[in-house]
Amino acid sequence: MKKKLLCLLIVLCLVVPTCVALTACHKDQGIYTYHGYTTALGTNWNPHTWEMNADSAIMEQTGLGFVDSIYYGEGAFQWHYEMATEIKDVTATASAADKTKWGIEDGQTGRMWQIKLNPNAKWENGEAIKADDYVWSMKMQLSSELKNYRANSYYANDFEIVNANIFYNQDKVGQRAQVAIANEEEYNSLMSTNQNVYIDIAGAWGVVTATGSTFALITDETKIRDEAVEEGQDGDWISPKEIYETMLNGSSLGVLLGNSLLLKDGDPIPAITFDDVGLYKVDEYTIMYVCAKPVAKFDFMVMCNGASWLVHKKTYEDSIVEAAGTKTSKYGTSKETTMCYGPYKMESFQKDKQIVWVQNENWYGWEKERGENGELVSYITLADGQKHRQFQMTKYVIDVMTDEAAKQAFLKGDIDELSLDSDDIPTYATSDRLSKVDETYTMRFFFNTGATEQLDKGNNNKNSVVLTNKNFRNAFSLAIDRSELCTTATAGFKPAFSMLNTLYYYNVAEDPTSIYRTSEWGMKTVVELYDIEYGADKQYKTLEEAYNVVTGYDLTKAKQLMKTACDELVAAGKYKAGDPIKIQVGFSAFALTTTDTKHQTLMNQYLNAAAEGSGFGTITLEYVGSLTNRYKDVTAGNYAIGYGAWGGAAFYPFKLFECYLEPDEVTGGIHEQGCFDPKTEVLKIDEFTYTDSNGVTKTFAGKTLTWESWSKFLKNASLGNDTIDDINLRLALLSRIEKAYIEQYYCVPIAGSTIVSMQGYRTENITQTYNIMYGFGGIRFTSFNYTDAEWAKFVKDNAKNGVLPY
């Protein structure tokens, strides 16, 4: 009897809940729920400490910035004030006291920014957001006790606040900060008096001490592990003294001083209070942001776009804990430690599972009258003078799921978006729900030609020395049918023939249409690189026509160049005709996919087609995946070829070469370091004529500088007494440097990365044309074709075999 009862109990346990759940009816609230997905949820959306993109994605939902760049008619954007009502450069009207206190020079602009706050802004709990909240939040952001990961956004870089760096280092009061030695005279004086001289080991060698210091005494013989060199190889451990001596022998004292690599003890860090920091309250609803260096209005507005440093005081204070020897706040790690101030607030958060956002009834932007179903509604007036619904979404559910699961959910109508991989793109290529968004990144092969002979000895490479020949590298580039490669072996990427794509704007503040790539100079670079002729008596009449036919693929020329390369290498005794060539490529940080294998197969086909009859043996590229840092691997000579992205600040293309030509700017150096030294190698830009921004034709006299100096010149628009006084000259110089850089063939552009996704039938974007300032309009302008109830019916009526036809 007992056994029978037990069996019955087990059956009941299993069956009853199933039946109950199956009969649970779907209740519709008459709301617009947007279902998104992610493969990994963020864990820390504290604006002071977030680290990963997934964190930032959540942080951006917690509130709006001072301003938002929004859609304002087809192709146009507008700065729309949100948490602020006005942002004004008041440097010119600064009082004498302010000028003295903040070190503002006469005639300067873009130093003092007055931000008038939106008096209607509230936290989700209804508390008003005032100037004090912003000031206190910044005080926490820069706290030397908390040592926040994102403090550097305000104590360093472009938007550095006056004295923020000193405040951040208040735990080191009295200690001397190290500053650059100005010149040779000062250096000699310090050396002769046995005073401390330091070397910036991070800038010079890409290493830091065991305690994380980026500099060390030049006499310090403590060995430091250089991660760029494989353990057991020469130079795997190096001391600051050795770095100093090597740099001194390899370059010169002038170069070291010129690049601020030699340091001395500066003045002791003074004790200050937050009153001395350039972020202060003017009145209840006004704050002043004092920049350490001038910032252009457009750049400042970009900084003010998106969630700011604002945190809720009580929640933040309650979340402070001690970890790893320092205090830090757990603010923004759960629903309980999050306080929102935007149109949405967090309803629930389950780690690794789901996040749900619902309308925040305390957001200032909602109308007083609710919608038919009790939902909050908001409108905005656009360029057409019409009121448009904004933030129509009433609930936003983001679930964690695998890409495979997401695909099924999308086709069943359970989620409203889907990212596609390369295998899926052909299936949906003709769907009107497919959208491609260009990214600023250009995927390219890059070579370390300096280490190839060494490589053949220690690796599986054979005859990788061929890469030292420029004609070979040029042929390598011309042999690639980028169009086929992108279609077949990438996730919808677009062929790239140059380093910068159409997302780089050279003067966006003045002209939102100033795209570098499609400017005259931008197109000229590409057309010249691929030898396309144009003119009245040529096949292509205009520059634009010529630019549009560039494919980057020229098998005939590639074959000629291969032949020349082979002859040169054989003559130099570096290569024996007919010998097979095998080169490993540091290809990916992840395990190789089938798409990567297709990529490899096609590349081998292209190269061997070009090498046919040239005297070269079979060429085999062997892709290697799962590499932690392939850029360093190539620099260190572990691979002769690497593959990776190139990209930078879309609104400031002049700064782009900084990462690639100025080794001091990047920890660990740059990947091209292995084969050319931008600090010593020079580039001569010949004389050319250009039309300045006033329409006057002028001549640039020509100049020879090191590659690094060209980058600095372009970036700062000045170098010593030389200045670039016109945006069109700067544009022309950018074009000449880009062309010269590619013509070295140390890197070969292949594809511009894109994000290919599908949008469900349920929602519409306000525009089909992607704009870098607002995408397709974002959540603000996502409109819904169906309520939740209507959508369920739509899916039922339109699904074929339970699947929606896309």
Binding site for another protein (CB under 8 A): 7, 10, 13-14, 16-18, 20-22, 24, 43-44, 49, 147-149, 151-152, 155-156, 202-203, 208, 210-214, 227, 321, 323-326, 328, 330, 333, 347-348, 350-354, 356, 399-402, 404-405, 408-409, 411-412, 414, 628-629, 666-668, 801-803
For 101, residues 6+ apart whose C-beta sits below 8 A from its C-beta are none
For the bound state, the minimum distance from the C-beta of residue 351 to another protein, rounded and expressed in Å, comes to 6
For the bound state, the minimum distance from the C-beta of residue 40 to another protein, rounded and expressed in Å, comes to 8
CB closer to another protein, 226 vs 481: 226
Spatial distance between the Cα atoms of 396 and 357, rounded to a whole number of angstroms: 5
Task: Find tokens 């908390």 and name the residue.
Answer: 146
CB closer to another protein, 211 vs 386: 211
For the bound state, the minimum distance from the C-beta of residue 748 to another protein, rounded and expressed in Å, comes to 23
- CA-nearest of 772, 749, 759, 750 to 487 is 750
CB closer to another protein, 49 vs 471: 49
User: 232: which 2 tokens?
Assistant: 């057991």
Q: How many C-beta neighbours within 10 Å does residue 423 have?
A: 12
Helices (H), 47-157: 53-62, 96-102, 131-141, 152-155
For 242, residues 6+ apart whose C-beta sits below 8 A from its C-beta are none
For 648, residues 6+ apart whose C-beta sits below 8 A from its C-beta are 440, 655, 656, 658, 659
For the bound state, the minimum distance from the C-beta of residue 46 to another protein, rounded and expressed in Å, comes to 8
Describe the crossing of helices 594-611 and 555-571 by its angle, rounded to 10 degrees: 70
CB closer to another protein, 513 vs 667: 667
For 147, residues 6+ apart whose C-beta sits below 8 A from its C-beta are 168, 326, 328
CB closer to another protein, 147 vs 698: 147
Task: Find tokens 């029978």 and name the residue.
Answer: 4
Spatial distance between the Cα atoms of 196 and 262, rounded to a whole number of angstroms: 10
For the bound state, the minimum distance from the C-beta of residue 338 to another protein, rounded and expressed in Å, comes to 12
For 615, residues 6+ apart whose C-beta sits below 8 A from its C-beta are 563, 566, 567, 570, 577, 578
User: 17: which 2 tokens?
Assistant: 């809940």
Backbone angles phi, psi at 414, to 5 degrees: -90, -20
For the bound state, the minimum distance from the C-beta of residue 10 to another protein, rounded and expressed in Å, comes to 6
Spatial distance between the Cα atoms of 693 and 514, rounded to a whole number of angstroms: 12
For the bound state, the minimum distance from the C-beta of residue 22 to another protein, rounded and expressed in Å, comes to 7
**620 three-class SS:** strand
User: 403: which 2 tokens?
Assistant: 């890409």
CB closer to another protein, 5 vs 324: 324
With contact defined as beta carbons under 8 Å apart, do 446 and 438 qualify? no
Secondary structure (DSSP) of 311-324: --HHHHHHTEEEET
Spatial distance between the Cα atoms of 660 and 78, rounded to a whole number of angstroms: 33
With contact defined as beta carbons under 8 Å apart, do 776 and 765 qualify? yes
Describe the crossing of helices 594-611 and 482-489 by its angle, rounded to 10 degrees: 160
User: 37: which 2 tokens?
Assistant: 């997905």
For the bound state, the minimum distance from the C-beta of residue 673 to another protein, rounded and expressed in Å, comes to 15
CB closer to another protein, 78 vs 214: 214
CB closer to another protein, 88 vs 796: 796
Q: How many C-beta neighbours within 10 Å does residue 737 have?
A: 23
- CA-nearest of 702, 652, 374 to 505 is 652
Q: How many C-beta neighbours within 10 Å does residue 257 have?
A: 17
CB closer to another protein, 325 vs 385: 325
CB closer to another protein, 89 vs 664: 664
CB closer to another protein, 41 vs 724: 41
Residue 776: enclosing H or E segment and its boundaries? Answer: none
Spatial distance between the Cα atoms of 407 and 420, rounded to a whole number of angstroms: 9
CB closer to another protein, 85 vs 408: 408
For the bound state, the minimum distance from the C-beta of residue 100 to another protein, rounded and expressed in Å, comes to 28
For the bound state, the minimum distance from the C-beta of residue 713 to another protein, rounded and expressed in Å, comes to 23
How far apart, in Å, are the Cα atoms of 153 and each of 57, 141, 165?
Answer: 18, 10, 11
- CA-nearest of 278, 309, 287, 279 to 116 is 287
For the bound state, the minimum distance from the C-beta of residue 800 to another protein, rounded and expressed in Å, comes to 13
Task: Find tokens 């949906």 and name the residue.
Answer: 428
CB closer to another protein, 440 vs 728: 440
CB closer to another protein, 14 vs 536: 14
**594 three-class SS:** helix
Give the amino acid at 184. Answer: E
CB closer to another protein, 589 vs 696: 589
CB closer to another protein, 190 vs 208: 208
For the bound state, the minimum distance from the C-beta of residue 321 to another protein, rounded and expressed in Å, comes to 6
Spatial distance between the Cα atoms of 450 and 635, rounded to a whole number of angstroms: 9
For 192, residues 6+ apart whose C-beta sits below 8 A from its C-beta are none
For the bound state, the minimum distance from the C-beta of residue 630 to another protein, rounded and expressed in Å, comes to 11
CB closer to another protein, 481 vs 664: 664
For the bound state, the minimum distance from the C-beta of residue 443 to another protein, rounded and expressed in Å, comes to 18
CB closer to another protein, 376 vs 411: 411
The neighbouring-strand residues paired with 682 are: 706
For the bound state, the minimum distance from the C-beta of residue 21 to another protein, rounded and expressed in Å, comes to 3
For the bound state, the minimum distance from the C-beta of residue 18 to another protein, rounded and expressed in Å, comes to 6
For 498, residues 6+ apart whose C-beta sits below 8 A from its C-beta are 442, 517, 522, 525, 526, 529, 738, 742, 749
**492 three-class SS:** coil
For the bound state, the minimum distance from the C-beta of residue 341 to another protein, rounded and expressed in Å, comes to 21
How far apart, in Å, are the Cα atoms of 182 and each of 19, 185, 186, 188?
Answer: 80, 8, 7, 11
For the bound state, the minimum distance from the C-beta of residue 417 to another protein, rounded and expressed in Å, comes to 15
